Amino acid sequence: MSGSGVDWEEDDPFEEQREEIENPMKRLFLEYGRNYAFQAVVGVFASTFARILDLLPPIMLAVALDAVFRGEAGYAESLPFGGDLVAPYVPATQEGQFYLTVGVIAAAFFLGAAFHWLRNWGFNAFAQNIQHDIRTDTYDKMQRLNMDFFADKQTGEMMSILSNDVNRLERFLNDGMNSLFRMAVMIVGIGVILFAYNWQLALVALLPVPLIAGFTYLFVKIIQPKYAAVRSTVGKVNSRLENNLGGIQVIKSSTTEDYESERVEDVSQDYFDANWDAIETRIKFFPGLRVLAGIGFVVTFLVGGLWVFQGPPGSFTGTLTEGEFVVFILYTQRFIWPMAQFGQIINMYQRARASSARMFGLMDEPSRVAENPNATDLEVTEGRVSYDDVTFGYDDEETIVEDVDFTVAGGETLALVGPTGAGKSTVLKLLLRMYDVDEGAITVDGQDVRNVTLESLRESIGYVSQDTFLFYGTVEENITYGTFGADREDVIEAAKMAEAHEFIENLPDGYDTEVGERGVKLSGGQRQRISIARAILKDPEILVLDEATSDVDTETEMLIQRSIDELAADRTTFAIAHRLSTIKDADQILVLEGGEIVERGGHEALLENGGLYSHLWGVQAGEIDELPQEFIERAQRRQARTDVSTDDDD
């Protein structure tokens, strides 16, 4: 998931929090940076020393030129500053001075290398540690977000925060900060030295600095929207390709290859145009920079050169030796190119800032299902579950569950039936506290689910749903998920009960076979049996079966049903089922329609009732061919409603 094409300004679920974060970079450094202050300080100091040592060889060359080779000036006096301090240690002979110079240059290189190493260690350790902490913190927070965030669009958004934003931040912390610091030290260091030699020529030599800074800043301003356009068009290309690959069967069977090729060509052309536009701007920038730098260099060379062999030109005053001239020339070359990165660093900073804002936006997202600070662990004694006039809606607009009121005694089985969209799953999600009720209360053995810890609540409930997700890992790891540390015998026992043992034995590596996307592909029914085995192994006090056998064939269903019956026998069980035969023995059956309980009772009583249940039963049992017209009309109306409200539900 690249997320690169997603324009997050448009569709940011964390916008509200993000806007409240005034200074994300400051917060980043305060909250995360301070733990690694040592590494940062080492990086800063080592970087400073490394740069200063880098600046030493040209000065030594200048001193050697003036004092040793031409012998026209004193060795110590030729230093830009600090001459008095080192004077007593300077050898008297020119030969001795020459070797001293070589020694200092060699020492500068070796020490410099050591400081460069230390600098890289410091900055990298700082950046990597922060990145690691932020990624794990963001992930941890993300897991605890409300279920609403895990709808399709927002999963992409969260992936993009966890990967793109964290990486951008790393890039700035690693490269950006490093370069920024180097630039600052270079410009200040070079400025100080040049001013110490000759302040007038220093002004001439440093003139390009503000010009180049302004020029690169302007460049970044112009190129940024162009890069945004590139990102957006490449996103469109990717979506198109992804979509077409997914739908290749439809394309082939409708023979629309040419049509699709054209559509791909269109988006690719847009990308080409946007990219070319950015390239045109970019390829003008570097030659422009070269011209500016070249002008600076030529002017410094002209003024400095005239100065050396004719004396101060124009209104300049003072002297300039050949050695000093050499330093000016070498240094001018040195700060120009790092300056070219100035724009990029600003760019990196801005991106890092936006990325931190997005991360903190996610971290600050308040939780809708908040843990009660006085929560105690749930204690299940009988397993009695009561819904007391429960009303709930996912948003303020629509009530999904209305006045649902029932009690399941410990060990009993309650079945929820009714048409798609009636709210059956929602009723059960409320028990797991995926959401909190708007009105009423849900209690387990008299304890309100809002007053117990989420962990103890969810630990007491085994949940087998219609989407059976397997994690990357072995079959055994998937069965023991949540009951880590169970031994092989128990796993096999659970698998046998879930009618999964036989097919698992036939897999290439039995219980050690890798499953999930990268491993062996299992059928829906096999996945379902693994997740049932997981629930059996967990041995929870309360069992929730959300169409647990929807994906298996009738024969397997019959087998699984036996084990489920056994599993459900001595614990409170909630079951949602489309196939009514699987729940006809339930102690209580609730028929839901439009979020309300419309019928309730045992199977026989409901059949006699002659309502929705008895008709559904009749159709499924093949006793009657069709539902009465009024049921069909009602179903059609309902379908129309749900189709509009959610296009991807069920």
Q: Give the residues lining the site for ligand ADP (CB under 6 A).
A: 148, 394, 400, 418, 420-426, 642, 645-646, 649-650
Q: Of all helices (H) and strands (E), which one includes residue 403?
A: strand 401-408
Residue number, 108 or 401, with CB nearest to ligand ADP:
401
Report how far residue 144's alpha carbon sits from residue 142's, in angstroms, rounded to the nearest whole number: 5
Rounded least distance, CB 225 to ligand ADP, Å: 36
Pairing state of beta strands 572-576 and 439-444? unpaired
User: Burial, 224: exposed, middle or buried (Cβ in 10 Å; 0-12, 13-18, 19+)?
Assistant: middle
Give the residue from 288, 311, 329, 361 showing the smallest Cα distance to 141.
361
Report how far residue 583's alpha carbon sits from residue 525's, in angstroms, rounded to the nearest whole number: 19
Rounded least distance, CB 277 to ligand ADP, Å: 41
Residue number, 200 or 642, with CB nearest to ligand ADP:
642
Report how far residue 411's alpha carbon sits from residue 189's, in angstroms, rounded to the nearest whole number: 80
Report how far residue 419's alpha carbon sits from residue 464's, in angstroms, rounded to the nearest whole number: 20
Rounded least distance, CB 500 to ligand ADP, Å: 25
Rounded least distance, CB 588 to ligand ADP, Å: 17
Residue number, 166 or 590, with CB nearest to ligand ADP:
590
Report how far residue 458's alpha carbon sits from residue 167's, in angstroms, rounded to the nearest whole number: 34
Rounded least distance, CB 595 to ligand ADP, Å: 7
Report how far residue 106's alpha carbon sits from residue 56's, in angstroms, rounded to the nearest whole number: 10
Q: Of all helices (H) and strands (E), which one includes residue 447?
A: strand 447-448
Rounded least distance, CB 423 to ligand ADP, Å: 4
Which positions ≥6 away from 536 have C-beta within 8 Å? 462, 494, 497, 498, 563, 567
Q: Of all helices (H) and strands (E), which one includes residue 355?
A: helix 342-363
Rounded least distance, CB 617 to ligand ADP, Å: 18
Copy the structure tokens of residue 159.
Answer: 């992936």
Residue number, 10 or 650, with CB nearest to ligand ADP:
650
Copy the structure tokens of residue 17.
Answer: 């929090």
Residue number, 158 or 173, with CB nearest to ligand ADP:
158
Q: How far is CA 55 from the centre of its chain?
A: 41
Alpha helix locations (H) across 144-207? 152-160, 166-171, 177-197, 199-206
Angle at 164 between CA 156 and CA 8, to 5 degrees: 55
Which positions ≥6 away from 15 have C-beta within 8 Å? 361
Rounded least distance, CB 24 to ligand ADP, Å: 30
Residue number, 221 or 368, with CB nearest to ligand ADP:
368
Residue number, 140 or 649, with CB nearest to ligand ADP:
649
Report how far residue 422's alpha carbon sits from residue 576's, in angstroms, rounded to the nearest whole number: 11
Rounded least distance, CB 434 to ligand ADP, Å: 9
Residue number, 48 or 425, with CB nearest to ligand ADP:
425
Rounded least distance, CB 146 to ligand ADP, Å: 9
Residue number, 620 or 646, with CB nearest to ligand ADP:
646
Q: How far is CA 574 from CA 250, 295, 386, 547, in A?
A: 40, 81, 12, 10
Alpha helix locations (H) across 7-93? 15-20, 24-31, 37-63, 83-86
Residue number, 216 or 466, with CB nearest to ligand ADP:
466
Rounded least distance, CB 547 to ligand ADP, Å: 8
Q: How far is CA 238 from the centre of its chain?
A: 19
- What is the maximal distance between C-alpha atoms in the chain? 121
Rounded least distance, CB 428 to ligand ADP, Å: 8
Residue number, 395 or 487, with CB nearest to ligand ADP:
395
Report how far residue 121's alpha carbon sits from residue 41's, in angstroms, rounded to the nearest whole number: 11
Q: Of all helices (H) and strands (E), which one includes residue 629?
A: helix 629-645
| 384: helix, strand or coil | coil
Residue number, 3 or 418, with CB nearest to ligand ADP:
418
Rounded least distance, CB 623 to ligand ADP, Å: 24
- Count the alpha carbons within 13 Å of 36 in the hemisphere toward its beta carbon: 23
Residue number, 402 or 557, with CB nearest to ligand ADP:
402
Residue number, 384 or 424, with CB nearest to ligand ADP:
424
Q: Of all helices (H) and strands (E), which one includes residue 257?
A: helix 257-310
Rounded least distance, CB 151 to ligand ADP, Å: 6
Residue number, 33 or 423, with CB nearest to ligand ADP:
423
End-to-end CA separation in angstroms for the chain: 24
Report how far residue 530's alpha carbon sits from residue 547's, in angstroms, rounded to the nearest whole number: 15
Report how far residue 28's alpha carbon sits from residue 177's, in angstroms, rounded to the nearest whole number: 14
Query: Are 430 and 424 within 8 A, CB to CB?
Result: no
